[in-house]
């Protein structure tokens, strides 16, 4: 009869060296960019709203929006600084405890220069100033 070799017990990983694997396609940056948002609300009425972003990424943003929209709905965002427009799809909606409604959008087009900033690669360590 063959005996199984006993495997050593795994060593506990120190939490100070643990780093969660980044699953996002690009880094998020907290940045307030004035936007104009064109779309339709739940009642089917067209709206044009001026708002701003909360965070941006190479592929979309999280923005404040006082209108109710549906997941998967298409919106048009216009960057008020550059006057450049892009189509986006609603990927998340949530109401914050402060009463504001936050909408996460993903750009439909793969144009990556909408914010005119360079993003670090996913999982890259952030720079620290000493």
pLDDT in tens, 21-65: 445 566 778 999 999 999 998 888 999 999 999 999 999 999 999
Helices and strands (H, E) in the chain, number of each type: 0, 7
Is the pLDDT reported for residue 69 higher than 90? yes
Residue 9, CB half-sphere, CA atoms under 13 Å: how many?
3
Token readout for 56 is 């941006």
Tokens found for residue 16 = 């100070």
Q: With a cut of 80, say whether residue 126 has pLDDT above it.
A: no
Cβ-count burial 20-38 (b if 16+ within 10 Å, e if not) = eeeeeebbbeeeebebebe
- State residue 55's pLDDT score: 94
H-helix or E-strand spanning residue 22: none
pTM of the model: 0.73
d(CA 11, CA 7) in angstroms, rounded, equals 12
- Look at residue 15 in the predicted model and tell me its pLDDT: 47
Q: Is the pLDDT of residue 120 over 50?
A: yes
The string of pLDDT tens digits covering residues 78-108 is 999 999 999 999 999 999 888 889 999 999 9
Give the Cα separation of 45 and 41 in Å (integer).
6
The pLDDT score that the predictor gives to residue 110 is 78
Give the span between the Cα atoms of 119 and 25, in whole angstroms.
Answer: 10
pLDDT of residue 4: 59
The most confident of 7-11, 17-21, 43-47, by mean pLDDT: 43-47
């Amino acid at each position: 009869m063959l005996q199984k070799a006993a495997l050593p017990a795994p060593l506990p990983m120190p939490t100070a060296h643990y780093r969660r694997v980044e699953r996002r396609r690009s880094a998020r940056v907290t940045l307030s960019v004035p936007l104009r948002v064109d779309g339709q609300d739940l009642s089917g009425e067209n709206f044009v709203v001026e708002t701003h972003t909360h965070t941006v990424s190479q592929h979309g943003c999280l923005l404040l929006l006082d209108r109710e929209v549906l997941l998967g709905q298409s919106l048009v965002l216009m960057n008020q600084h550059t006057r450049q427009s892009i189509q986006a799809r609603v990927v998340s909606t949530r109401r914050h405890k402060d009463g504001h409604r936050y909408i996460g959008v993903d750009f439909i087009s793969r144009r990556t220069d909408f914010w005119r900033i360079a993003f670090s690669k996913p999982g890259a360590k952030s720079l620290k100033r000493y």
